[in-house]
C-alpha cells in the first residue's frame, strides 16, 4: 500500500459520499450546480482536450516514434496478433453498450439537437451523434493513457501507475506529493466512472426484472440489486474465482454477439447493411464539425447530458481500460498499438450501434408507432426491453439482456477494484485481498449513495466533475510521453543483439521462467557487468564482479570513498489478472523477471529482455545517478 494515495483517495471519496448521505436533496443540487459550473467554465476545455488527445496519438503512431516498441527493442509480443485483437475487441464490450445501444439513437431521433424530431433527418443525425460519442475520440483517450502506462512500464521499467508517465517532466518528484496527487485523482476519477457504469447497469437490471417479473422499479430496489451484485464481485475477489469469472465473461461476449446477430437476422437486414455504410460516411463527413462543436451560438443543455458527459466518462474510465490494454500490449510497436486500439473496438461498436439503433428507429417509424420513443423519453433504462417487445422471443431475449448486464456488472466491479488497488499500491501486483475488497465495496457504496442522492443525474454530475483534474493530468501525460519518445529516438542504442529464436518463441507463448532469467544473467548480464568493470578499471577505479547462488553483483570504489553497488537477480511475482479475459490458462499464474538494484534508487528496475548494450546503459545511468547524488 502507498498510504498517502490509499487514504488520500479514500478521504476525498468519503467526504463526497458523506455530504450526499447527510443532505440528499442539497447534495443533488450541489452536484448539479457543480456540473453546470464545470460545463459553463470548462466545456470548451473538455472538447479541445479530447481533440488534442486524438491528434497526439495519431502523430505518435504515424511519425518516427511509431516504430518504437512497448518494451525492449528485441522484445516480442506477449500475445499472438489475433489474440491481441480479440482482447481489444472484448474491451469494447460492457454495460455502456448494453444500456445505450437502443436508448441513445432513439433519444437523439426523438429529441435531436438540430433536426426536426421523428424525421429521416433526425434519424441520420441520431446515428452520426451516436457514432461520434462511441468512435475514435473515446478510444483516443484510452489509447493515450494505455500508451503512457505501457511505454513507461514495459520499456522504461517504471511501476505500472499513472505517475510514471510524468517522470520525463518531474524526475524524482513523481515519488513525492505531486505523484501521490496524480494517483489520487486517477483513483477518484476511475471510481466515480465505474460507479456511473454500475448505476446505469443496475437501473437496466431493475427495469428488466420489473418487465419480466413485476419487481418494483425504485431507487431502494436498485440499491438492493447493487448489494447483491457487489457481493458476487466480492466473492470473486475473496475466493480467487478469476478463472470462473473469465469463463463467464467469455460466454457473455459470445452471447452478446449472438444477440446482435439475432437482431440483424430478424430485423431489416438489407437496410441495416446499407445503413452501416451510410452511417460511417456521414460520420466521416461530420467528423471535424462534431469534434469541435460546442453550440456556442445556441447554448443548450443537450451538451451536458450527452457529449460533455461522454468525454468526462471516457476520461474517468481511462485508467481502467488503459491499464488493461497496456498489460496485453507488451512487445507491440507504438504504431500497431494505436491503430489496433483506435480501429478494432470502434469498428465493432459501429456495427453494434447500427444494428440496434437503426433497427429501433425503423421499428419506431413503423410497427411500434412511436412506442419505443415514448419508453425512452419516460426512462432510458427501459429502452432495450421495449425494443425487444417488437421482435420474436421477447421473454428469452429480455432475460438474456438482464443476465448480460449482470455479468458485465460483476466483471467491471471486480476488474475495476484491481486497477484501483494497483494504482493505490504503487504498481504492486501482490497486495492483500482485503484491499481489493475494500475498493470493490467502495465502488458499490458510491453507486448506491449517489443513486439515492439524485439518481443517474447525480452520477453523471459526479463523473463530469471528477474527470476535470484528470483531464489536466492527461495533458501532462501526453507531454511526458512525447518528450520521452523523442529522447529515445535520438539517444537509443542502434546496435542490438538478436535473441535466439527459442527465446523469442518463449516470450510469445509464455512469460519468463526462472531458467530464462538465469540464462539472461549468464549470457547478457555477466558480459555487460564485465564490460563496465573493465571500463571502470581503465579509469583507475577498483571494481569487482561477484557471482553467488542468487545473482550477480558489481561493486566499484575510488580512493577510499563510498562504494557503488549494482545487482542483477531473478524475481518471482504473480501474473496479474486485470480482467476476466486476461491471462489465458496456457500462461503461467506466476512469472520471473530480471530485477536490477542499485544504491540510491528505491525501486528495482525490470530488465527482462534487455540486450547487453541496454544493460550496460542501465548500469551507467545508475552510476551517474550515484555520482551526482
Decide: helix, strand or coil at residue 580: coil
Identify the three-state secondary structure at position 78. coil
Please report where in the chains the cell 433526425 appears, as a residue.
Answer: 122
Distance CA 477, CA 181 (A): 14
**Nearest-angstrom CA–CA distance, 198 and 313:** 13
Straight-line distance from the first to the last Cα atom of the chain, in angstroms, rounded to the nearest whole number: 27
* DSSP H or E run through 598: strand 590-598
307-327 vs 394-424: helix crossing angle, rounded to 10: 70
What are 395's strand-pairing partners?
Answer: none
Rounded (10°) angle between helices 307-327 and 24-62: 60
For helices 136-150 and 307-327, the axis angle rounded to 10 degrees is 40
**The pLDDT of residue 511:** 63
pLDDT for 178 equals 82
Cβ contact 341:318 at 8 Å: no
Closest CA to 570 of 625, 607, 517: 517
Question: What does pTM read for this prediction?
Answer: 0.72
* Cβ atoms within 10 Å, residue 33: 11
Contact indicator for 319, 186 with CB cutoff of 8 Å: yes
Evaluate the CA torsion angle 342, 345, 350, 353 in order and state its sign. Answer: negative
Closest CA to 315 of 470, 438, 91: 470
CA dist 15 to 7, 18, 27, 188, 194, Å? 12, 5, 12, 12, 18
DSSP letters spanning 277-344: HHHHHHHHHTHHHHHH---SSS--THHHHTHHHHHHHHHHHHHHHHHHHHHTTTT-BHHHHHHHHHHH
Record the cell numbers describing residue 471, joined without a space. 483531464
The CATH code that applies to domain 3-488 is 1.20.1740
C-beta separation of 52 from 137 below 8 A: no
Residue 265, helix vs strand vs coil: helix
Query: What's the CA gap between 537 and 542, in Å, rounded?
Result: 6
Question: Nearest Cα to 326, choosing from 177, 151, 202, 458?
Answer: 151
Of the candidates 211, 129, 202, 132, the residue with the CA atom closest to the CA atom of residue 450: 202
- In angstroms, rounded to a whole number, what is the distance separating the alpha carbons of residues 293 and 539? 63
Q: pLDDT means per 10 residues in the chain (629 residues)?
A: 83 80 70 77 89 94 88 75 72 72 89 87 92 92 91 80 82 77 82 77 78 74 81 71 59 83 91 93 93 84 81 83 82 90 89 92 84 80 82 85 80 76 74 80 82 67 76 90 84 36 44 78 89 86 83 80 84 54 45 78 72 83 73
- Collapsing DSSP to helix, strand or coil, 293 comes out as coil
- Domain-by-domain residue ranges, the chain? 3-488, 501-628
CA 258 to CA 514: how far, in whole Å? 43
462 vs 193: CA distance, rounded Å: 9
Tell me which residue has cell 512487445: 331
Q: Is 542 left (phi over 0), alpha (psi -120 to 50) or beta?
A: beta
| Structural contact between residues 66 and 335, judged by C-beta atoms closer than 8 angstroms | yes
CB-CB neighbours of 603 under 10 Å: 13
| DSSP code at position 391 | S
Closest among 102, 461, 126, 417 to 312, alpha carbons compared: 461
Q: How far apart are CA 475 and CA 167, in angstroms?
A: 14
Amino acid at each position: 500500500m502507498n498510504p498517502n494515495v490509499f487514504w488520500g483517495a479514500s478521504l476525498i471519496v468519503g467526504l463526497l459520499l458523506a455530504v450526499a448521505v447527510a443532505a440528499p436533496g442539497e447534495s443533488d443540487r450541489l452536484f448539479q450546480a457543480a456540473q453546470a459550473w464545470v460545463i459553463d467554465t470548462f466545456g470548451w476545455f473538455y472538447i479541445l482536450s479530447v481533440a488534442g488527445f486524438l491528434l497526439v496519438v495519431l502523430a505518435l503512431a504515424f511519425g518516427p516514434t511509431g516504430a518504437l516498441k512497448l518494451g525492449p527493442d528485441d522484445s516480442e509480443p506477449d500475445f499472438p496478433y489475433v489474440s491481441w485483437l480479440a482482447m481489444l475487441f472484448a474491451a469494447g464490450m460492457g454495460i455502456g453498450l448494453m444500456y445505450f445501444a437502443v436508448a441513445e439513437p432513439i433519444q437523439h431521433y426523438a429529441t435531436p439537437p438540430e433536426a426536426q424530431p421523428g424525421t429521416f433527418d433526425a434519424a441520420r443525425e441520431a446515428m452520426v451523434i451516436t457514432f461520434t460519442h462511441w468512435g475514435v475520440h473515446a478510444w483516443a483517450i484510452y489509447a493515450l493513457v494505455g500508451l503512457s502506462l505501457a511505454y513507461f512500464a514495459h520499456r522504461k521499467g517504471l511501476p505500472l501507475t499513472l505517475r510514471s508517465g510524468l517522470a520525463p517532466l518531474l524526475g524524482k518528484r513523481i515519488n513525492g506529493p505531486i505523484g501521490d496527487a496524480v494517483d489520487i485523482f486517477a483513483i477518484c476519477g476511475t471510481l466515480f466512472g465505474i460507479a456511473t457504469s454500475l448505476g446505469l447497469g443496475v437501473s437496466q437490471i431493475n427495469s428488466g426484472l420489473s418487465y419480466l417479473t413485476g419487481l418494483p422499479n425504485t431507487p431502494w430496489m436498485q440499491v438492493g440489486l447493487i448489494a447483491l451484485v457487489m457481493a458476487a464481485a466480492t466473492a470473486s475477489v475473496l475466493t480467487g474465482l478469476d478463472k470462473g469469472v473469465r469463463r463467464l465473461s467469455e460466454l457473455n461476449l459470445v452471447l452478446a454477439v449472438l444477440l446482435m446477430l439475432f437482431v440483424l437476422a430478424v430485423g431489416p437486414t438489407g437496410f441495416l447493411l446499407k445503413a452501416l455504410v451510410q452511417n460511417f460516411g456521414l460520420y466521416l463527413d461530420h467528423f471535424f464539425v462534431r469534434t469541435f462543436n460546442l453550440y456556442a451560438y445556441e447554448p443548450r443543455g443537450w451538451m451536458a447530458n450527452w457529449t460533455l458527459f461522454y468525454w468526462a466518462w471516457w476520461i474517468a474510465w481511462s485508467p481502467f481500460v488503459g491499464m488493461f490494454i497496456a498489460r496485453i500490449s507488451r512487445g507491440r510497436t507504438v504504431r500497431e498499438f494505436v491503430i489496433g486500439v483506435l480501429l478494432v473496438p470502434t469498428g465493432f461498436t459501429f456495427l453494434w450501434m447500427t444494428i440496434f439503433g437503426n433497427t429501433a428507429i425503423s421499428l419506431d417509424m413503423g410497427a411500434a408507432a412511436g412506442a419505443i420513443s415514448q419508453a425512452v423519453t419516460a426512462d432510458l433504462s427501459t429502452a432495450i426491453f421495449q425494443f425487444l417487445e417488437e421482435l420474436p422471443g421477447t421473454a428469452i431475449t429480455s432475460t438474456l439482456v438482464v443476465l448480460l448486464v449482470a455479468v458485465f456488472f460483476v466483471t467491471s466491479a471486480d476488474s475495476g477494484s484491481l486497477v484501483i488497488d494497483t494504482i493505490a499500491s504503487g504498481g504492486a501486483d501482490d497486495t492483500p485481498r482485503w484491499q481489493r475488497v475494500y475498493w470493490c465495496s467502495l465502488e458499490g457504496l458510491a453507486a448506491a449513495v449517489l443513486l439515492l442522492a439524485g439518481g443517474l443525474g447525480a452520477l453523471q454530475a459526479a463523473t463530469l466533475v471528477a474527470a476535470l483534474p484528470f483531464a489536466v493530468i492527461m495533458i501532462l501525460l501526453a507531454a511526458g510521453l512525447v518528450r520521452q519518445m523523442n529522447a529515445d529516438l535520438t539517444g537509443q542504442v542502434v546496435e542490438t543483439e538478436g535473441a535466439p529464436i527459442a527465446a523469442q518463441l518463449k516470450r510469445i507463448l509464455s512469460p519468463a521462467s526462472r531458467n530464462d532469467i538465469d540464462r539472461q544473467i549468464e549470457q547478457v548480464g555477466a558480459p555487460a557487468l564485465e564490460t563496465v568493470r573493465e571500463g571502470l578499471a581503465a579509469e583507475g577505479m577498483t571494481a569487482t564482479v561477484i557471482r553467488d547462488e542468487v545473482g550477480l553483483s558489481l561493486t566499484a570504489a575510488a580512493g577510499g570513498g563510498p562504494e557503488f553497488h549494482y545487482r542483477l537477480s531473478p524475481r518471482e511475482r504473480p501474473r496479474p489478472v486485470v480482467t476476466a479475459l486476461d491471462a489465458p490458462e496456457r500462461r503461467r499464474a506466476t512469472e520471473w523477471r530480471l530485477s536490477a538494484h542499485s544504491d540510491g534508487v528505491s525501486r528495482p528496475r525490470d530488465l527482462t529482455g534487455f540486450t547487453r548494450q541496454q544493460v550496460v546503459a542501465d548500469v551507467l545511468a545508475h552510476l551517474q545517478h550515484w555520482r551526482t547524488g
